Structure 1
């Protein structure tokens, strides 16, 4: 889920920040466009940033940089002021984007970006991303939180290499904050954040689908939890079923193809079936109903080459609690050389396998160790 700068915004944003060359200086006199942008965005930025205990100055700078002061096609067509990829309630738009690979080289590609119904929805989604992190690390953006970042500079710099691939991303934000006096937006944040809490729809569920063939077993406590046709407490009406009717026993295998994360409750649910056949009836169960294979993670800084044999590349370790979705294959990677930053040890039915998280500048994903032919 790492963010990239939109194609077309990159040059505009760098010009706005005065970072296109040593001889270029940013004027402190904001244009009519910047004046309108600041006037429109200041109040909602302060409200949302304070609500999530973030720096309003950093959020304002991000919105200005990512949307080219609200003139980018993405902000005009999709109310997307932060360049966040994916879909929002199923809505998205396809745009070209400029990205940086692991060597710091710029390249261009096309990606889907979220389409929002309003500016406020865009801000709130960005704030939730920074507060909730990624599926594999809820603290991924914790460096931007006010309780962890003593200054807006620290929060802005924490976005480099995490939120954005541009190596000067934090410096660009700081330049904007100082040029346009966005630090004044932070003045009342401390008092506000002690009394306001994020408003999250208790029925909101983020869904993640995965590849078929992933399994778990019913836990020793499965009878303590019910089984439903939908996630209990979601927007769908959930019907409860009896285990006596369905048939259950400890260690009974189940096949899983989706995970639902209840945002407010911060709990996970899984869509299961009791047959390998994908046409079998599917149910939803709470996470404690299941026992997953044990997966342990560790930092692992290496260089490698992918095998010439085609192996699947997943967004998570296959058969882990995250529920993995296939992104591509090693055969389809643009080049064989990759960097590795994480290692996972996976134990299932007494069999231990090793997984690596690889990056080739375009894809971040997990592969079985057998997919790596060389390590250095």
Structure 2
């Protein structure tokens, strides 16, 4: 070596010796070595513990990075070595003591914190501590890519299966319970029962439906009215008007309420929306509970009881309809207006129905008609016309029933009273102008009081020696009323006589 080179080397050594004492450098090297040994031991413990507790790959990577950085710290710059020496001088003993007397987690945290920079210490300390307490570690915020040659399969744990979460079930909305609405009952109009108003007076056009309805309830009304001192004619007329001749929903099965009485009958009722008159001819609707009866009979009995016993607050409320108080049915109907019904014309309508259908017949006691000196048994009152082919309570049905009662036969389709002669001839019946007992006698329209449109038909009860005849007939004095009269010999030739056939 030349002299010049030796001088340069000596100058360099002298310069280094003046800047750092040799003893301190040696001590620093020993501390660095010791720190490096502790760091390596700690890193190995950390790696083993992370493996045992199934730490995630991010923790392992952070620990390996920490180990690498710690090892590389043996060749720091001058300033870094000095800082490491000052920090380690204080914490190395604690680290060693903690390793032997406390948990590995604390030892690992302390020693690792000593050997890494601030950012590395934070990430490693957090990751290592959590891996010691819970199976799942929180990934470091300073996650780095794995170094080449590092086995990913050894550090990463298999992904846990994700348990599918059932979608939240939306509760099934149940439809709101609907409250049954009462049925609306249309009002009974005048036309329903054949009422025609003319200058505040009413007339009635007869209908077959109303006649059949009267036949159905007539005798029951007669009996109930007699027992309760009432007018049967008024009772029947009210039933016709209130129920529309039995056509209203309230009057039909299973309700059988003929008179629109509200409340309940022995606990039975039905709700309806009905129309009522405000007293001035204007209708309005009202929902109410109405009594429900097992048959028409109970309906009429309950009606009669109401009129006889009145209201709880006034027992004499309906006293004006009693026979002992009202001298005629017209007085009774007048009293009902404004009390039983708000319709100001209520009495007029009832009176028209009573007159047209001769309902006063039911105000009298029923009597069996037995023609004087008749050649036949008395009429039994039975209706053999099951389907009412002839109008109930009229002359045609009566003659059919009378002939059938006596064991003979006549057709159900002979026509109106004046038609029986022509129909009989066309069908092979024996028809003549000579009267014969047991024959039907047909009156032309307008003859001897016969109807001007339909004529009339009667039954010959007896032929007298002078040629006069005794006949029985119906609906001359009223609907369904049987009466008798004698036709003089001079008038018998005006009619046709139809001899019934044998059965």
**Which interval holds the TM-score relative to the shorter structure?**
0.3 to 0.5
Report the structure number with the largest CA radius of gyration. Answer: 2
In terms of fraction of residues, the more helix-rich structure is 2
Instruction: Please give the TM-score of this superposition, normalised by the length of structure 2.
Output: 0.34
In terms of fraction of residues, the more strand-rich structure is 1
